[in-house]
Amino acid sequence: MTDQAMEFPLVVVHHPPWNKNRIIGQKAPFKLKEICAIRAWLDFEHNVRDRALLDVAVDSKMRGGDVTRLRVEDVATATRLPHGPVSGKARRNVR
* Domain assignments of the chain as residue spans, ordered by start: 30-95
CA distances from 66 to 1, 5, 34, 62 (A): 62, 58, 21, 6
Residue 38 CB partners (closer than 8 Å, separation 6+)? 30, 54
The CA distance from 88 to 52, in Å, is 17
Q: What is the pLDDT of residue 86?
A: 58
Tell me the pLDDT tens digit for each residue of 33-69: 999 999 999 999 999 988 988 888 888 888 878 888 8
Q: What is the pLDDT of residue 37?
A: 96
